[in-house]
Amino acid sequence: MLFRSAVVELKNPWTTLQFFPESREMKLNGTLMWLNDSVTSVDGRWCINTTDQAKVIDPILRPSRHLGGISASVVLLDPGHGGEDPGALGRSGLQEERLTLDLAKRVRAKLVNAGIKALLTRDSDHTLGLESRAPMIRRTGAQVFVSLHFNSTASRSIYGVETYVLAPRGYDITAGGDSASRKSAANNGNRFDGANTALGYHIQRSLRLWLGSSHDRGVRRSRFAVLRDATCPAVLVECGFLSHAATEERLRSSAYMDSLAQRVADGIVEYTKAVRAARPPPRPPARK
């Protein structure tokens, strides 16, 4: 997290936007969001990129412009890794592939209880390649795709949760380092840039309200294969760091996993509500 020497705040009774000069970080109603470009000074005024206005802020403040033409009645949950690909490994032996499957099954149950059809890309511990996951969106008729993961890093002090959406065409991922060809490539998932942001925001906000702001690593930008190739709004959620001892210990608790699943499900439900609210009203029958 960057040290903030100044904050530019815009506020009304419903919304608070906080921008951090010379940074890609901002907060929207308290939830951290990563911009595509830094807040910069132009003629003595702090300015944001027009793409950030259109694809980061607008989808939350004016969702009807981005969600009005889509549906969200079928959710495809993707437990990351599996089989020959165990994913991250905690210091005490906790495996990401098993955690993601456990979490996905819990999220599915909670979505079904909320009246939402929910499916899994895998329902057992078997190998499922990256190239096989996104095509399942079309095969299942899914309208929302959520890939579930747990993080790991060399630093044992880093903790928190983060939600990734596809970076818009031509812009860097949050971590930087994308090649020019990757940045300029046209990806299926970019057709849903606004909806991706809305979905990511609702899930990350739900997790932040539960865990607290110190755990909020924000809605970030990447070009993960499952996001690039998605044919519906899609996000990838990193639900905690297995490399952080206290987090790994909490993830061993069934009660904690159930609460985590509830918060992910709550975020998805809020997104589906936003999609329904954005639909245009039905036209009255024509007079004869």
Q: Give strand pairing partners of 219.
A: 33, 163
Residue 177 corresponds to which amino acid? Answer: G
Tokens in use for 224? 């993960």
Indicate the SS3 state at residue 241.
strand
d(CA 152, CA 52): 29
Mean pLDDT of 253-273: 98
SS3 (DSSP) at 228: helix
**Residues 170-216: tens digit of each pLDDT:** 999 998 888 889 999 989 999 999 999 999 999 999 999 999 999 99
pLDDT > 70? residue 5 = no
Output the pLDDT for position 176.
Answer: 81
* Residue 52, pLDDT above cutoff 90: yes
In which residue are the tokens 């936007």 written? 17
Confidence of residue 285 (pLDDT cuts 50, 70, 90): confident
Cα–Cα distance between 95 and 81 in angstroms, integer? Answer: 10
In this prediction, residue 284 has a pLDDT band, given cuts at 50, 70 and 90, of: confident
pLDDT of 258 over the 90 cut: yes
- pLDDT of 30 reads 98
Kindly tell me if the per-residue pLDDT of 78 is higher than 50.
yes
Q: What is the band of 3 on the pLDDT scale with cuts at 50, 70, 90?
A: very low
Note the pLDDT of residue 1.
Answer: 39
Q: How confident is the model at residue 250 (pLDDT cuts 50, 70, 90)?
A: very high
128 phi/psi in degrees, rounded to 5 = -140, 110
C-alpha angle 88/90/214, rounded to 5°?
Answer: 90
3-state helix, strand, coil in the chain (%, to 5): 40, 25, 40
Task: Please give the pLDDT value at position 283.
Answer: 72
Query: What residues contact residue 283 under an 8 Å CB cut-off, 6+ apart?
Result: none
Retrieve residue 97's tokens. 């592939």
**Predicted confidence (pLDDT) per residue in 123-174, tens digit:** 999 989 888 999 999 999 999 999 999 999 999 999 999 999 999 999 999 9
**Per-residue pLDDT, 195:** 98
Can you list the positions of beta strands (E) in the chain?
8-11, 16-19, 25-28, 31-34, 40-42, 45-47, 74-79, 117-120, 144-151, 161-166, 216-222, 234-241
Tokens of 93: 């032996």
- Lowest mean pLDDT, pick from 4-13, 194-203, 223-232: 4-13
